[in-house]
Structure formats: structure tokens, C-alpha cells
Amino acid sequence: MTFFKYIEGGGIIGYVILALSIVGMAFTISAILRTRRTQLVPEEQVKELRLQADAGDFQQALDDCRTEEGDTFLGRIAAAGIDRSLRGPLGGLEARAAMEDAGEDETARLFRMIDPIAVIASVAPLLGLLGTVQGMIGAFETVAGTATRSSAYYETLASNISIALITTFQGLVVAIPCVMVHSWLRNRIDRSASDAGRALETLAMSLERIGTAFSQPPSQGGDGA
């Protein structure tokens, strides 16, 4: 059986599964490009944020994160913490929590981006099962409705059974790679989130030191009397 026979042999359901495979491929390519470490946690941005945190130049760091080049996974998380710290003298104490919340939101957004791949991985085998049921119904109708066992009878019976098996095959061929790709992308996103957390630790500590300094009560000097 040729490759095109596997495509044509599944009938309408087979073409639907084929369309899903194309959509899944498009989402996969897009997700791979958008979850690269160079896109999420650029090394140059990591170094620049550390330098700005050591120098205490938080306003410039915030401005850089809000530029088009700085609008990355890392930049949006850093901007949330810096923005919170600049709102008041004690904002530095809330900066880490703000960055954690922003990190969770950004990670969830990336996970939503790869959800269609998981949906395709679930739907494809179900469509294959639907095609199997359709083919078996046709096979039983052929057996029940044909009194004579002519060559046309066997050809129709074999065609229905072929549809039943081919659609199952097509569904699994689409679902298995989608499951593997989805799992790999989730791990990739988790690693990037962990890298971003480690990269922003210096910034978080610098912002917390500022907030702690403002929260300390002034020392009371004695009269010496």
C-alpha cells in the first residue's frame, strides 16, 4: 500500500485527521520558535539586568524592559518587580512576590500556547476510532445485505475493513508525535521559567535591600545625660 493510499483510504475522516496533522505541525513550529531560550531568557538581557541591579539603576532597567527588544519573558517578569518597588518606599519588599506572580502568569500564557497540540493529540485517535466504527458498520451492512458471495461482495467488505484500520492508523500516527512534542515543550517552558528565576535573583535581592532599608526605624541617639 502506497503512502497516498493511506491518505485516501481513510475517507472523509481520514482527510480530517490529515488536516489536524497540518494544524498540529503549524502549532509545533510556532511553539518551538517562541519557546527558545534566546527568545525567553536572552543572555545579554540577563547580564544587563544584573549590572543595573548592582548599580541600583532600577528606573533605567524598567525602561529597558518596556522597549520592544526588552519585551521578553524575562523582561516582563523583571518589569513587574521593578514597577512594584518604584511605587513606594516599601515597594521593594513586595517586588519578589510581584515577580513570582508575573512569572506564573507568563508561564501559564506559554502553556496555553501549546494547549492546541494536546487537544489534537486527544482528538486524533478519537477520530480514528470513529472511522473504525464507521468502517465496521459498513462491513456488517455488507455481510447482512448481500446474499451472494460475488467478487463485488468481497471487494466491498475488504474496503470497509480497510477504512476501519486505516483511520485508526492515521489517528495514532498524528497523536503519538503530538503527545511527545507537547511533553517536550512543557519541559522546555519549565526550564526557561527556572532559568528566569535564577537570573532575577540578584535583582530581587537588590530591590529587597532597598525596601528593608526604608522599613528600618531611625536609630535613637542618647543625650549622654
C-beta neighbour count of 32 within 10 angstroms: 14
In a domain, 79, yes or no: yes
Please return the burial class of 208, using the count of CB atoms within 10 Å of its CB with bins 0-12, 13-18 and 19+. middle
Owning domain of residue 209: 3-214
Tell me what pLDDT residue 124 has: 93
Q: What is the average pLDDT score of the chain?
A: 83
In a domain, 193, yes or no: yes
In a domain, 209, yes or no: yes
Look at residues 194, 50, 195, 189 and name the one whose alpha carbon lies nearest to residue 114. 189
What is the C-alpha to C-alpha distance for residues 103 and 82, in angstroms, rounded to an integer?
Answer: 13
What's the total number of domains in the chain?
Answer: 1
Q: What is the pTM of this model?
A: 0.79
Query: pLDDT, tens digit, for every residue of 85-107?
Result: 888 766 677 888 899 999 999 99
Query: pLDDT, tens digit, for every residue of 34-75?
Result: 999 888 999 999 999 989 888 888 889 999 999 999 999 999
In a domain, 220, yes or no: no
Look at residues 26, 24, 28 and name the one whose alpha carbon lies nearest to residue 123. 24
C-beta neighbour count of 63 within 10 angstroms: 13
In a domain, 132, yes or no: yes
In a domain, 223, yes or no: no
